[in-house]
């Protein structure tokens, strides 16, 4: 049974994500040690699901220290169907029924939420509901398409392809989750701007562009 809800527009004044996660944590605690399912988590996140999951997978890509080459593909690939769903106008996550039925240890989920909620509250100080029209249907589809392009580039196992797009995706995901149109536009500008620079560099200099861009960055640091 698929628990994902119909693709409806998000409410005009959404609850803070921290409150949503706090309610989920209390719900898990009230159920005791019993395991929970992925479907239960998706249902609890409801219209925040796409943004929250994109944020989860974008953070490792955005780490300035980088990750082992090829591992970026592991984190970027789940972003592709999520961005595609947003581009198609969905505001809730669709997952196969078998995946929704998989169980997760409730105690570990609760511990993760316990650690994440204070950081989410700090993030909500900077990323907050504004320019709400950007998060609605038409603009949301456009930014979903841009996120899809950024996720595809971030999945390429080559240097310089994932960190900056990952930062852009992370900011966009935070904006989507918090209904912050300004953050969504800023993330798209960062990610797509970098992809354009990288694309022009490859077009003019070929593979040598990676060394040129890397040396330019090093000289600025």
Residue 8's pLDDT band, with cuts at 50, 70 and 90, is: very low
Q: Which three-class secondary structure state does DSSP give residue 36?
A: strand
**Chain centroid to CA 151:** 10
Rounded to the nearest integer, the mean pLDDT of the chain is: 81
Instruction: Give the residue carrying structure tokens 């953050």.
Output: 183
Distance in angstroms (rounded) separating the CA atoms of residues 179 and 163: 24
pLDDT digits (tens, 9 = 90+) for 77-108: 889 999 999 999 887 888 788 877 888 777 87
Residue 5's pLDDT band, with cuts at 50, 70 and 90, is: very low
Beta carbons within 8 Å of 78's beta carbon, 6+ residues apart: 53, 57
What pLDDT sits at residue 220? 65
pLDDT digits (tens, 9 = 90+) for 181-209: 999 999 999 999 999 988 898 888 887 77
């Amino acid at each position: 049974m698929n628990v994902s809800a119909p693709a409806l527009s998000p409410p005009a004044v959404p609850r803070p994500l921290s409150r949503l996660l706090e309610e989920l944590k209390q719900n898990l605690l009230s159920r005791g040690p019993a395991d929970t399912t992925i479907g239960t988590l998706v249902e609890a996140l409801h219209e925040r699901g796409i943004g929250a999951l994109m944020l989860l997978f974008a953070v490792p890509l955005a780490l300035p220290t980088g990750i082992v080459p090829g591992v970026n593909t592991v984190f970027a690939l789940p972003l592709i169907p999520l961005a595609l769903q947003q581009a198609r106008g969905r505001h809730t996550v669709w997952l196969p029924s078998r995946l929704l039925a998989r169980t997760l240890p409730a105690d570990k989920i609760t511990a993760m939420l316990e650690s994440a909620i204070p950081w989410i509250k700090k993030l909500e100080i900077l990323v907050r509901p504004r320019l709400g029209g950007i998060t609605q249907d038409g603009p949301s589809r456009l930014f979903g398409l841009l996120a899809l392009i950024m996720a595809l580039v971030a999945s390429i196992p080559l240097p310089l392809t994932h960190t900056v797009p990952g930062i852009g995706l992370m900011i966009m995901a935070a904006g989507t989750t918090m209904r912050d149109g300004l953050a969504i536009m800023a993330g798209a500008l960062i990610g797509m701007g970098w992809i354009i620079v990288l694309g022009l560099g490859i077009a003019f200099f070929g593979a040598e562009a990676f060394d040129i861009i890397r040396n330019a960055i090093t000289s600025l640091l």
